[in-house]
Amino acid sequence: MTIFKCKNRKFIERKLSIFLTGVRLNKRGFIVSMIPYFPFLSWYYIFSYDILKFIVDELTGTFLIYNTFFNFFVFLALILGISLIRRVKKIYIIYTWSILSTIGTILIIIIQKDIFKLAIYFLTGVLYGIGLLAYFTYFYSLTVPEERGRTAGLIGFIFLPILSLLTVSIKQLDIIRTAMLCIILNLVPLGIIPLNPGKITTLTAKRDLRSFNPEKRTILLYFIPWLIFSSINSTLAKVVSFHVSNYFSVSSLMLLMTSQVFGASLGATIGGIISDFLGRRYSNCLNS
């Protein structure tokens, strides 16, 4: 009975420790994992929707079809890129995505024929899928399971308000300014080069890295929810919100947007803590 109480007490202490320990990732590692997060998230929403609307009329069914294909190519690249990222350093793949996506965005501006613009558009989606996979695994290796959700939530708390402001202001830009914004976001990951991210010590044990293999299906827990949310948000949700917004006054829209920013920021923080508390956490209770 005493042994059972001891083990139960230790288990509760480990669960509650996420509120007390803080993020163990050092400041340089946190910055390195935080900086690429913003362009990977914001660039996707701007490029997949706002660049496409300058090629295809956003009020037509063709627009939704092309946007859906873009998301399909992203997901396909996520799956097929698994073998690639095992052979190349993740940070190098992130740099490569940054440079090639910048070139692709420039070509979309320069090229005149829409068919070639669409080809580059879809190819850039493939590059994004591989780059996003590399970032996921890089972030995964820099964090420990007990703090992974909390760290991601903290990053989201910092950047989600900025992303909300971008999605509102981007509606007023033409294709040149929109493309320039995408190029700036493309180049943001290169800003971590002076931090020398290759020498940051990873916190994840080797056995933990193996759990990211697709045959164990852990990887699906990351990609499927992201794909579903992104597909709905970049297609159906934007089209619906575009029509619904016409029935609200300016003051009501500002209240709704402010509530959305506040809710998303608060949800990112609390959601990260809940994920750590209820999610996949390694317990040494059996070894006690």
User: How confident is the model over 177-204, as pLDDT tens digits?
Assistant: 999 999 999 999 998 988 888 777 666 5
| Dist. CA 39–CA 189, nearest whole Å | 7
Alpha carbon separation from 283 to 8, 12, 76 (Å, rounded): 12, 11, 34
- pLDDT of 287 higher than 50: no
Q: What is the DSSP string of 228-241?
A: HHHHHHHTHHHHHH
pTM of the model as a whole: 0.68
22 Rama sector, left if φ>0, alpha if ψ -120 to 50, beta otherwise = left
- pLDDT of 121 higher than 70: yes
pLDDT averaged over every residue in the chain: 75
Q: Look-up: residue for tokens 């992303």? A: 163
User: What's the pLDDT score for residue 261?
Assistant: 65
Residue 111: what residue type? I
Tokens of 18: 């996420």
pLDDT band of residue 281 (cuts 50, 70, 90) is: very low
Do 89 and 199 form a contact (C-beta atoms < 8 A)?
A: no
Do 79 and 214 form a contact (C-beta atoms < 8 A)?
A: yes
Most confidently predicted of 83-92, 159-168, 183-192:
183-192
User: How confident is the model over 6-51, as pLDDT tens digits?
Assistant: 555 555 555 454 444 556 677 888 888 888 888 888 888 888 888 9
Residue 153: what residue type? G
Do 73 and 231 form a contact (C-beta atoms < 8 A)?
A: no
| Dist. CA 163–CA 145, nearest whole Å | 26
User: What's the pLDDT score for residue 110?
Assistant: 92
| Between residues 119 and 29, the one the model is more confident about | 119
Beta-carbon neighbour count of residue 170 at 10 Å? 17
Average pLDDT over residues 128-142: 87
Do 93 and 130 form a contact (C-beta atoms < 8 A)?
A: yes
The domains located in the chain, with CATH, are: 25-287 (1.20.1250)
* Rg of the chain in Å (alpha carbons): 21
Residue 98's nearest CA partner among 135, 58, 49, 151 is 135
